[in-house]
Structure 1
Amino acid sequence: MKRLGKMAMVSSLLMLAACSGSGIREDLDQVLNDTFDAEEDYRAVQSDLEEREKAEQLLFEETMALTQEQQGEVTDQAQEALDSADERLGFLQTEKDSMQAAEENFAEIDSVIESAEEESVIADLEALKAEMLERFAAHDEFSEAYEELIARQKELYEMLQDDQSTLQMLQEKAAEVNSQNEQVQLAVTEFNELTQQVNSLKDSTLENLSESEE
């Protein structure tokens, strides 16, 4: 039986240092810090998700090691895994709500762009906006893939509770789970790469703004 895959940790925005002064840089700094603050719940559930996944993986392996004569114990442990999967869905919803709030806060960058006058500054801000929106879209794709992963895992756990399920049926469902987990890993990688790009672009944009305001 293949292992159920674990989700890679997702990256977050880097917090900014407080900015003094006035102008476009300070306005952008405020928008980015508000966006970072809105992602607090998203960051907070990462360790909870990872802990649940590790515990669920161990529980699944222990359940698969039980024999047909231990069906009662199999049923109980499969139910525990189902409860854990539902709990992960709750954590994921918290994460999604946090990211939605962050995206709403980030929309304030439009007013920063509108107040900018230099073409180079506008170009930098537009590029940062585009990259950040792509990051939010990537998180949506991750969430969709991860929800589908949990759905297939729950199907597997429910099959474990059914004493009519054969080993072949379980293996086929486990293969579906692992295939979907590969999609999750790809989505995580894409999101992490975009987060790194946003952080880099954010730093260069703020640096350029500081130079232009000197």
Structure 2
Amino acid sequence: MKKTAVALSFFVIFLLTACSGSGIRGDLDQVLNDTFDAEEEYRAVQDDLEKREKTEQQLFEEIMALTQEEQDQVAKQAQTALDSADERLEFLKTEKESMQSAEENFTDIDKVIKAAEEVAVKADVEALKAKMKERFTAHSEFTKAYEKLIERQKELYEMLKKEETTLQLLQEKAAEVNEQNEQVQLAVTAFNEVTKQVNELKDATMKKIDESEE
């Protein structure tokens, strides 16, 4: 076999932070803190996902450096990569559930909107709500793309286990993996960007609330 490249994904996250306060600010703080806490498991699995991705990349490179005479070793390492991919699916499931819980917690922002008396403050909190909904949607799009990526990678690993698989077929599947990885990276970029916007909007909203309560 000749070595062929396949890129796996890794993404950086921005953390949603909240402040402390009273009144409308305090209520908004509570919603944001509850949402942030609900995302704890989402944040917790990031290192595990990264480690599995790096391990699989290394395994793939080692496999492609082997020869047909070493098929037993190829099959063994390919199975290890498959097991790792399945673990990533479990981590992704945990991440999805964590984000879904956060989204449910964030619905309490409707109470903050209802309680806001100043038109400008109400409008800002509504804008924050809309941006957070956009963020949750962006994460959902990412998970769909990432699940599809893992599916393609597992197909590649299964092909590696079969001695009759040709180099051409491997290269074609690797191209599919790389193409899907590009979609994942686009989804990651979109999610990170909207998360950054959420934090900026949150800061601006808190500042406006502080000014209105002075």
What TM-score bracket applies, with the shorter chain setting the length? Answer: over 0.9
Deviation at 1:118, TM superposition (A): 1.2
CA distance in 2, matches of 1:34, 1:3: 42
Are 1:6 and 2:5 matched, yes or no? no
Are 1:31 and 1:106, in contact at CA under 8 Å, matched by a contact in 2? yes
CA distance in 2, matches of 1:121, 1:15: 19
Spell out the pairing of 1:175-186 with structure 2 (5 A cutoff): 175-186=175-186
Are 1:96 and 1:143, in contact at CA under 8 Å, matched by a contact in 2? yes
Any stretches of 5+ residues in structure 2 without a counterpart?
Answer: none
CA distance in 2, matches of 1:108, 1:89: 30
Q: What residue is the counterpart of 1:114 in the other structure?
A: 114
Are 1:158 and 2:168 matched, yes or no? no
CA distance in 2, matches of 1:189, 1:2: 26
Cα deviations by residue, 1:75-102 (Å, 9 ceiling, x for unpaired): 1100000000000001101110110011
Cα deviations by residue, 1:20-50 (Å, 9 ceiling, x for unpaired): 3x31110000000000111111111111101
CA distance in 2, matches of 1:74, 1:65: 10
Are 1:2 and 1:175, in contact at CA under 8 Å, matched by a contact in 2? no
Are 1:56 and 1:81, in contact at CA under 8 Å, matched by a contact in 2? yes
Q: What residue is the counterpart of 2:171 in the other structure?
A: 171
Are 1:153 and 1:177, in contact at CA under 8 Å, matched by a contact in 2? yes
User: Which residue, 18, 41, 44 being the options, matches 1:16?
Assistant: 18
- Number of residue pairs matched by the alignment: 212
Q: What residue is the counterpart of 1:40 in the other structure?
A: 40
Any stretches of 5+ residues in structure 1 without a counterpart?
Answer: none
Deviation at 1:3, TM superposition (A): 2.5
Q: What residue is the counterpart of 1:51 in the other structure?
A: 51
Are 2:10 and 2:53, in contact at CA under 8 Å, matched by a contact in 1? no
**Normalised by the size of structure 1, how large is the TM-score?**
0.96
Q: What residue is the counterpart of 2:94 in the other structure?
A: 94
Deviation at 1:2, TM superposition (A): 4.2
Cα deviations by residue, 1:105-148 (Å, 9 ceiling, x for unpaired): 11100011011111101110110000000000000000000000
Are 1:12 and 1:43, in contact at CA under 8 Å, matched by a contact in 2? no
CA distance in 2, matches of 1:204, 1:27: 16
Are 1:10 and 1:191, in contact at CA under 8 Å, matched by a contact in 2? no
Cα RMSD, aligned residues only: 1.0
